[in-house]
């Protein structure tokens, strides 16, 4: 697999991708409900471990409801992130809201938890896993550009609008480079670190991604990266992705 030369791309770049294909995510949603995987057939079941779900850019927990119900159905204790709309400084969202959800899941199960994040939510999940390896058994990302912000121009424009609002709202409470890969906050700094060996990492991606450049959603390791057919948005409802999630969760063994 040919990856970009830089380990972590610090500047936002426009990806040469076609966003209209994302309209096909509805087909993935419908196909999910016809798949045996969705009903817990042919996949390993869970051990009651906690799983915290993190939504993507401009998304809320609500669109991850199908994934939450499915995880519950196969034997896990899923939790929503509780962050509200993901259009805020990730560092603040982690400190003020997401850490609370992780701690609650940890208390309820008495063992390490799993993190599953879609898109920007996956980037946040990887950052948290590096910050809290003693609390996290595994991290699974769905179309998450954790190696750099290389996306469709419409996404970059929306991100810049969010950035300006963050700076206007929080002022000196955030760094001037907030919401960019050049920020030096704990959220971005944690992304530069190598994932601890105690955390089982999984990166699920699609080459048909119409939102971000898929090259920035993978680690380059065949044992970690898993390709599925589908769209960026649709990975939250993708039966192939669900099957991989079930098998990878089963491979991680949360300790107390």
The torsion angles phi and psi of 77, rounded to 5 degrees, stand at -115, 85
Q: 78-81 long-range CB contacts below 8 Å, 24 or more apart?
A: 78/50, 78/51, 78/52, 78/53, 79/50, 79/51, 79/52, 79/53, 79/104, 79/105, 80/52, 80/53, 81/52, 81/53, 81/54, 81/55, 81/121
Quick: pLDDT tens for 78-136.
Answer: 999 999 999 999 999 999 999 999 999 999 999 999 999 999 999 999 999 999 999 99
pLDDT at residue number 255 = 72
Region 144-161: mean pLDDT is 94
Region 182-209: mean pLDDT is 94
Judged against a pLDDT cut of 70, whether residue 5 lies above it is answered with: no
- What stretch of H or E contains 160? helix 153-170
pLDDT at residue number 256 = 65
Judged against a pLDDT cut of 90, whether residue 28 lies above it is answered with: yes
pLDDT at residue number 8 = 54
pLDDT at residue number 6 = 44
């Amino acid at each position: 697999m040919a990856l970009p030369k830089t380990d972590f791309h610090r500047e936002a770049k426009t990806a040469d991708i076609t966003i209209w294909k994302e309209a096909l995510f509805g087909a993935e949603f419908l196909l999910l409900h016809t798949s045996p995987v969705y009903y817990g057939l042919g996949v390993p079941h869970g051990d009651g471990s906690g799983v915290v779900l993190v939504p993507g850019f401009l998304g809320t927990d609500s669109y991850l409801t199908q994934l939450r119900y499915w995880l519950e159905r196969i034997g896990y204790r899923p939790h929503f992130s509780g962050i509200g709309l993901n259009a805020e400084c990730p560092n603040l969202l982690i400190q003020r809201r997401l850490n609370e959800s992780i701690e609650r899941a940890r208390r309820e199960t008495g063992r390490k938890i799993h993190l599953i994040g879609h898109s920007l939510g996956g980037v946040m999940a990887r950052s948290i896993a590096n910050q809290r390896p003693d609390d996290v058994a595994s991290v699974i990302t769905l179309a998450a550009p954790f190696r750099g912000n290389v996306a469709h121009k419409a996404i970059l424009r929306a991100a810049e609008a969010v950035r300006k609002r963050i700076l206007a709202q929080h002022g000196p409470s955030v760094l001037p480079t907030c919401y960019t890969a050049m920020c030096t906050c704990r959220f971005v700094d944690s992304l530069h670190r190598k994932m601890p060996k105690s955390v089982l990492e999984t990166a699920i991606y699609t080459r048909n991604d119409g939102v971000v450049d898929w090259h920035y959603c993978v680690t380059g390791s065949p044992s970690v990266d898993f390709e599925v057919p589908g769209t960026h948005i649709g990975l939250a409802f993708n039966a192939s992705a669900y099957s991989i999630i079930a098998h990878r969760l089963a491979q991680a063994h949360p300790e107390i």
